[in-house]
Structure formats: C-alpha cells, structure tokens
Amino acid sequence: MPVKVETYDRVEEAARALSASRSARFLGGGTLVMRAVNAGDQSFDTIIRLRDPDFRTIRMQGDGLVIGAGVTMAALVANRDAAFLATVARVIGGPAIRNMATVGGNLFASGNYGDLAVALLALGATVQLAGSGSRSMPIDEFLRDRDRDRHATSLVQSVTVPRPRDPAAFRFTKVSRVKPKGVSLMSIAALLPQSGGRVQGARVAYGAMGPTPLRAIAVERALEGQALDAAAIDRAAALAVEGIAPPTDALASSWYRAEVAGVHLKRLLAGERR
Amino acid sequence: MAKKPVQFRLNGSEKAVFVDDGQNLLDVLRRGVGDLTPKYGCGQGTCGTCTVLIDGEPHLSCLTLAETIDGRQVSTTAGLARGSELHPLQAAFMDGFAAQCGYCTPGMLMAASALLERNPDPSREDIVEAISGNICRCTGYEPIINAILAAAKAGGARRYG
C-alpha cells in the first residue's frame, strides 16, 4: 500500500495533522520510518514531514540544554554545549546513520536501539510535546506511555536536558558484539552527582533490558548516600537486575543479560575504561 | 497518486525528476535517473551499500525520502572518475584487490571519499570508524582499509561533484 507524504512548515500544523490521523507517522531522519516503509509496514499510510528550522536547533536555557527533536546525532556530536552527550551520540550507528538519525526519533527506537534515550533517562531529561496537547513531561513518563499508544497522537518538539554540574558525574557504556559499530546488547547510563564525597540523586538507566529504556531503581537506592567505593559498588552491582526481566533476542538470552549486567555495571561505576 | 517534482544536482549535473510519495532516493537514482552505482542491499540501514553523499556528507539513500533532496547536491560513485581517469580511491581499490564480490564497493568508496575530503591524512582507526556503517560480507576489510590508506597517501582528497 503506497503512503502519502504531507509536508508542513510549522510544528503546530504538523502536530495537528499527526493527531488527526491514527495511521500517520512522523518522519524524523528516516532511519525508523523509511525502514518501516521499505519493509512493507502496513500499520501507517501517511508520513508527516516538518521543515521548521527551529526543530533542528540546540540552545541553552538556564542550566539546561534544549535540543530540537530534529537535531541529528552528528549535529549533537559537533555541538560544544552538548559535549557531555557526544560520547553517547558518537557510538550510535555509523557515520551515515549519525547524519540522519534524530534525537526525537531515538526516543521511539525499540529493542537494541535507542541508546541516546537511555542517556537522557539517566540525565533526567524532560520531553516537550507540540500541538493542542502541548505539554512537557519527564522522560520517565514519556517512555512508560510510549508503547501504550503506539500511534502517538503527540509530536515531540524538543528535549530539555539538565547539564551535569560535574561532567565526570555522567557515565555511559554500550555493550555490543561488533566493534566499532554494533547494536546494543545492553547500554548503561549513570548520573552519580556527589556531595561531600557521597552520591546524591543517583539515576541509573539501562537500554535493551526491557521494552523501553528503564531505570535500575534497586541500584540507585543502593548507591544513594554512599561513598562510591568498592564495597558500595559491589552492593549495587549485586542488585543490577533486581526487579528487571531482561529480554531474549537475537543478540543474547535473558539469562545472559542478567548474568553480565552486574559486571558491566560494576566496571561503569568503578570508572574502568574498556 | 500525485507525483512530486524534485530538482537536485547529481555529480554536478542538474536533474529534474518526478517522484512518488514514499519513494526513497536509492530508487529514484537507480530507476528514475539511471545511476546504477548505488546498490540496494538490506533496505534497512544496516549494510551501507546504498551510501551516497548529500551535500558532501554520507547518507543512506535507501532510507532517504526522495522528495527531501530537492535543491541539494548528491554524489555517487558514478561521479568519482574523470572520464577514463579513475579517482585515487578507485585506483587504490583496484591496485590493492579491495573488491571481492564488489557489492559493498560503491558504499565503501563514498564513505571513504567523505572521510578523505574532511581528513586527507586519516589514521587506520579513522578509516575503520568511517567505514563502520558499511558491511563487506566477503569480510575483505583489510584490503579495503589498506586501499583507503594508500589512496590518502596518493592524495585521494580530490574534490569532485
């Protein structure tokens, strides 16, 4: 079934068109939507496109960085203010994918994709939605509701990310079978701000460990208020998959993921580079 | 369904075509314009053999909605040689036996040419990173990497398109 493409210049118009049809998808960089078109996906018949240049800008707002949903991974890598996210954006896909794939699209990536969303979850980002339902919500909430309404009626306009005061407080690792480019067997992002030598406000998130990026609540609790020493790291790593049921897919079984999650988490918390 | 007019430059020459809604750039290049150098591999953004340069940067043509290239510059392997004079990358690929079945070669050449335009003296690591989105199922990566190194030494950063 052929698809119809509608192009808009203003984000409100695009949002209205998207919410008016349950069989419409919004086109970001094409790495998800065009992929679905090529695969003969029959679940949508309309592609909504937006040409608003604002949609592709990055700007500072107080302590936060407002990233337009149309910003590509390559643009993120090249942006000085977004340096703390460059380590994440740089390991997504190959160069051609990074020139295309967008920040907004990454929030909708499932399975072994969506590493940036994992980082944004750990960083406590908020997601701005456009249109009549124009609102802002924590990324936790966005990801929780994402798959309940697959043909989301809202258009993601931007993501606001609080910049970590201490850049070393944010850490990210991607575990893949193929180097340098491979999809994630799992990815782990951790925000570990310290005050007086103790962790305060820990946020730890996994990718490819569930249907969406998710937080490792038990790990966060184990780290909270602790000095980041070997004993605390061991206790946290022992709780790596507490309350989490990792999926089985082509890359790894649920059992394998559960076995190695603690190992990768421990290395990340200990600041070991691999 | 309505056809949409699209104008763009392909390897330096003006092209004007009508595209279908949802048609991808690779299909337009191969069937609409007759440039058969970019190949259809996976259609899923995984293999990289459809890689072309859009405004000098590598893109996957199979995942690019054709109408989005209106007014832009597209470069393919067809634009590398100058008449009978091969591009330094092509010459190095030939001299170094960097093609086995050859299906990945157009994508490898475009990814490598984008690299050399930006970085005329790349390290081996830079090259591995630049072609990381291009899969060679003959697994002949070593000759490909060596050929790109050789082309860089031979002054492979020649402007084209």
CATH of the domain at A211: 3.30.390.50
Kindly provide the ipTM of the predicted complex, given to two decimals: 0.95
Q: What digits encode the pLDDT tens for the residues B24-81?
A: 999 999 999 999 999 999 999 999 999 999 999 999 999 999 999 999 999 999 999 9
Q: Which CATH number does B88-153 carry?
A: 1.10.150.120
Cβ contact B62–A38 (<8 Å): yes
Domain final position from A162, A192, A222: A162
Distance from CA of A35 to the nearest CA of B (A): 5
What's the whole-number mean pLDDT along residues A178-205?
94
> What is the fold, at CATH topology level, of the domain defined by B4-78?
Ubiquitin-like (UB roll) (3.10.20)
Among A4, A27, A181, select the one facing B133 at the smallest CB separation: A181
- pLDDT at residue A134, rounded to an integer: 79
Residue B60 near chain A (CB below 8 Å): yes
Which residues of B are less than 8 Å from A49 in CB distance?
Answer: 65, 68
Q: What digits encode the pLDDT tens for the residues B95-135?
A: 999 999 999 999 999 999 999 999 999 999 999 999 999 99
Residue B137 reports pLDDT greater than 90: yes
User: Do A156 and A197 share a domain, yes or no?
Assistant: no
| Dist CA A70 CA B92 (whole Å) | 38
User: Do A156 and A254 share a domain, yes or no?
Assistant: no
Residue A1 reports pLDDT greater than 60: no
Percent of chain A whose pLDDT exceeds 70: 97
User: Do A17 and A115 share a domain, yes or no?
Assistant: no
User: Do A30 and A110 share a domain, yes or no?
Assistant: no
Whichever domain contains A65, its CATH number is 3.30.465.10
Q: Which residues pair with A198 in a beta bridge?
A: A195
What's the whole-number mean pLDDT along residues A178-191?
92
Distance from CA of B63 to the nearest CA of A (A): 5
Cβ contact B151:B116 at 8 Å = yes
What's the whole-number mean pLDDT along residues A50-78?
96
What total number of domains does chain A contain? 3
What's the predicted TM-score (pTM) here?
0.95
Boundaries of CATH 3.10.20.30 in chain B?
A: 4-78
Residue A148 reports pLDDT greater than 90: no
Boundaries of CATH 1.10.150.120 in chain B?
A: 88-153
| Dist CA A143 CA A14 (whole Å) | 22
User: Do A90 and A61 share a domain, yes or no?
Assistant: yes
Residue B132 near chain A (CB below 8 Å): yes
Whichever domain contains A10, its CATH number is 3.30.43
User: Do A183 and A143 share a domain, yes or no?
Assistant: no
User: Which residue type is seen at B6?
Assistant: V
- pLDDT at residue A274, rounded to an integer: 56
Count of Cβ atoms closer than 10 Å to residue B12 Cβ: 10
Count of Cβ atoms closer than 10 Å to residue A79 Cβ: 17
Task: State the residue range of the domain holding A207.
Answer: 174-269
What's the whole-number mean pLDDT along residues A80-88?
96
User: For residue B27, what are the contacts with CB-CB under 8 A and spacing of at least 6?
Assistant: B66
Residue B1 reports pLDDT greater than 90: no
The rounded mean pLDDT for chain A is 94
User: Do A74 and A139 share a domain, yes or no?
Assistant: yes
- pLDDT at residue A151, rounded to an integer: 44
Residue A39 near chain B (CB below 8 Å): yes
Name the residue with higher pLDDT: B140 or A48. A48
